[in-house]
């Protein structure tokens, strides 16, 4: 059963409660935690790679790791932990499968699906024409700018959270957002 959370803090508090309940043996709490985050993680993973099956496998791996290490983990922010874990898991898979023979990990094209864009707060859900325009504009951004935009505007993450997820410093994240916005404004003006 999906529950809507009005803000990130409510989601985080609910996730902390569910994780604590799971640690006490409540299997249903883990299922609720999975239901709360599976779709978000899938969408985030699809921002890193368009290989949906790989993303699904890596999301499963992240939750398996959470199950196996739940008693030992000292997680203060469940959402950030899951996003970082998924990103690292995907990067490990890229390296393992030699996806990176000619391309650096940072150069992976981040795909933006219609569903991702429609779920964002940037667009009016009812306007498919606007979705197409935004997809074209997002293709103008570098992969890292697209990832920052996804986290900042769609997932509504704070800069500090994005720094941890992308393993970048605060000023670099701010610069990516700023330069990306300048690039989008220039593209719209044309």
Q: At what angle do helices 27-48 and 8-23 cross, to 10 degrees?
A: 130
Domain ranges for the chain: 1-103, 109-190
pLDDT for position 138: 79
Q: Does domain 109-190 have CATH number 1.10.10.10?
A: yes
Residues 6+ apart with CB under 8 A from 176: 144, 145, 148, 168
pLDDT tens for the 190 residues of the chain, in order: 445 555 678 888 898 899 888 888 888 998 999 999 999 898 888 888 888 899 999 999 999 888 888 777 778 888 888 888 898 898 888 877 765 444 444 444 444 443 443 344 333 344 455 556 767 777 788 888 888 888 887 777 888 888 988 889 999 999 998 998 888 888 777 6
pLDDT for position 115: 43
Contact of 20 with 89, CB cutoff 8 Å: no
pLDDT for position 35: 92
* Cα→Cα distances 14→4, 8, 79, 159, 184, Å: 11, 10, 11, 22, 36
CATH number of the domain located at residue range(s) 1-103 in this protein: 1.10.1740.10
């Amino acid at each position: 059963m999906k529950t809507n959370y009005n803000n990130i803090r409510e989601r985080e508090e609910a996730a902390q409660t569910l994780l604590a309940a799971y640690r006490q043996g409540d299997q249903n709490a883990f299922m609720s935690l999975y239901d709360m985050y599976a779709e978000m993680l899938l969408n985030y993973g699809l921002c890193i790679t368009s290989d949906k099956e790989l993303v699904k496998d890596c999301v499963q791996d992240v939750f398996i790791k959470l199950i196996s290490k739940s008693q030992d983990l000292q997680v203060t922010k469940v959402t950030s932990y899951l996003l970082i874990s998924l990103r690292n898991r995907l990067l490990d898979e890229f390296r393992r499968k030699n996806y990176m023979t000619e391309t650096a990990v940072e150069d992976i094209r981040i795909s933006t699906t219609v569903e991702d864009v429609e779920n964002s707060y940037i667009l009016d859900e009812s306007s498919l024409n606007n979705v197409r325009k935004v997809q074209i504009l997002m293709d103008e951004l570098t992969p890292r700018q697209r990832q920052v935009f996804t986290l900042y505007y769609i997932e509504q993450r704070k800069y500090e959270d994005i720094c941890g997820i992308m393993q970048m410093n605060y000023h670099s994240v701010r610069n990516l957002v700023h330069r990306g916005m300048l690039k989008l404004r220039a593209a719209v003006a044309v």
